[in-house]
Amino acid sequence: MTDRFETNDLHLAATLQCLGLPLMDVDRSDPRRVRFVFEDDARRREWARQYVAGELRVDPLILLNSLRSLKRQIYADPPRPLRMVQAGDEPLSFSRGQ
């Protein structure tokens, strides 16, 4: 099993993502708070220490792109379940629910 690190700090999550730490999940199960789930390792612990101490430096354009990417995931509509549709004598087809 892979160790996990969870944070609800958008800026820390974007920083870790732009440094190359694999993002495992964006947990939106709590409507008031989003949790970003990363693989945890020694690099993450050192980067988080440097982040809190104000010692970590990242490329601003990559950070901006990471922020945009995470915000898209936060505000993305959840996928709608498939439902069966039958029109007249036509065979069953599947479509996204409206």
DSSP for 24-61, please give it. EEEEEEETTEEEEEEE--HHHHHHHHHHHHT-----HH
Domain coordinates of the chain in residue numbers? 4-96
pLDDT at residue 27 tops 60: yes
Region 6-30: mean pLDDT is 95
Question: Could you tell me the pLDDT band of residue 51, with boundaries at 50, 70 and 90?
Answer: very high
pLDDT in tens, 60-98: 999 999 999 999 999 887 655 556 555 566 555 555 555
